[in-house]
Amino acid sequence: MNRPAPDQEFWNVADGFIALANQRCDTVGSGKVSAAMLYSAARFNAFVAASGAKSKEQYIAERENTVAYFAAQFDKMLRENLSDYEANYEKYIGETRA
């Protein structure tokens, strides 16, 4: 499952999801919003994998490769964002909390 590099449309869609998540954090705890986003991403990616398969057999045969792909992508993106927050903690979060 090779994907093209992110373009501006990608960033706009991602920013829209983040804005909605931030809005939901006003009424629901951030942990619950985070869990809901993870579930939503997993559910949608299962749909993408199923709808992209030419048959149920192909879908089943590619299951482990699909899991490995999405897990690797999440790991990469999470590590990049953790590094970004580390480098910009004061800018994004504010003063260090005790």
Q: What is the mean pLDDT, run by run of 10 residues, along the chain of 98 residues?
A: 78 97 96 98 98 98 98 97 96 78
Amino acid letter at 6? Answer: P
Residue 25, helix vs strand vs coil: coil
> pLDDT value at position 61?
98
The one-letter amino acid code at 8 reads: Q
- Residue 43 resides in a domain: yes
State which residues form the domain around 42: 14-91
User: Tell me, what's the pLDDT at 86?
Assistant: 96
Q: How high is the pLDDT of residue 95?
A: 73
Q: Is residue 85 part of a domain?
A: yes
Q: What is the per-residue pLDDT for 96?
A: 62
Packing angle, helices 30-52 and 63-87, rounded to 10: 140
CB 20 within 8 A of CB 28: no
Contacts with 47 (C-beta within 8 Å, 6 or more apart), sequence order: none
- Answer yes or no: is 60 within a domain: yes
Number of folded domains that form the chain = 1
Instruction: Give the per-residue pLDDT at 5.
Output: 77
Is residue 68, in this structure, part of any structural domain at all? yes
Separation between Cα atoms, residue 13 and residue 5, nearest integer Å: 14
Query: Domain of 24: which CATH number?
Result: 1.10.287.3020
Helices (H), the chain: 8-24, 30-52, 56-61, 63-87, 89-92
In a domain, 77, yes or no: yes
Residue 63: inside a domain: yes
pTM (predicted TM-score): 0.84
